[in-house]
Amino acid sequence: MTRYIIRRLLQAIPTLIGISILSFILVNAAPGDPITMRTFGDPRMTEEAREIMRRQLGLDQPAIVQYFAWMTGLSVRRGDQVAMMTTPGNTCGYFGGIDVTVCDGGGGILRGDLGTSIDTKQPVWARIVERMPATLELGITSLLLSLFIGVPLGVLSAVYRGSLFDNLVRFFAVIFRAIPIFWMALILILVFSVVLGWLPTGGRQTVTLTQEFNLGDRIRHIILPAAVLAFGGIAGFSRIMR
């Protein structure tokens, strides 16, 4: 068992590296750059100042160098660039033997630092932690729905194998696994929110002046998203149990 776990962990390394490369490529392929987004609408910011900021952050470097800096927090540039690259919280050193300047900004994915949000200027980790309760609430609810509905359906389907009930369970299991989640979500919103008006279209709770906790209101808001996420799990658990 230990060898299996170690082997799986080692196999995950190239997968994680591939995911990081793909994420980096997708972000860099988007229009604009972080400096333009961060300084957008600031009348005091000139293009020359933006170029200086890009050089300080290494955004004018080749993609492979930017990826290395993103992962490790170390910026590398040829020549003695200590004076130009040194900023508050950024330690630089010049290595004359290989004629490069290396700066340590203290960040990097490998150190667990996801950087700063361009939108809010807050640490990304703080933004993730801020939204973690709602994520866990939705994930756990959908998982419980999948277990409490999918497992009994699978057991009953196995007990009454070959019956109409069994055929219906298998049919809808295939349907629920095949239908894209986003499409199912749109259909449920259209039916239960727009047409019938029974459930809200989104959000975690109704926006009020006091924002007091209301269990009934929370339940109404979580029914649709939890159900959409649970459809695939119900289908999977029912087929496995059968």
128 and 100: one domain? no
- pTM of the full structure: 0.62
Tell me 91's DSSP state.
E
Average pLDDT over residues 1-19: 82
Q: How confident is the model at residue 170 (pLDDT cuts 50, 70, 90)?
A: confident
164 is a domain residue: yes
Please determine, for residue 82, whether its predicted confidence score (pLDDT) is greater than 60: no
**Structural domains in the chain (count):** 2
Lowest mean pLDDT among 97-106, 122-131, 196-205: 97-106
- Per the domain annotation, does 196 fall within a domain? yes
Q: How confident is the model at residue 33 (pLDDT cuts 50, 70, 90)?
A: confident
Count helices and strands in the chain by DSSP H and E runs: 9, 3
Helix, strand, coil fractions of the chain, as percent rounded to 5: 65, 5, 30
Residue 116 within a domain: no
Last residue of a domain, one of 64, 79, 111: 111
Same domain, 103 and 132: no
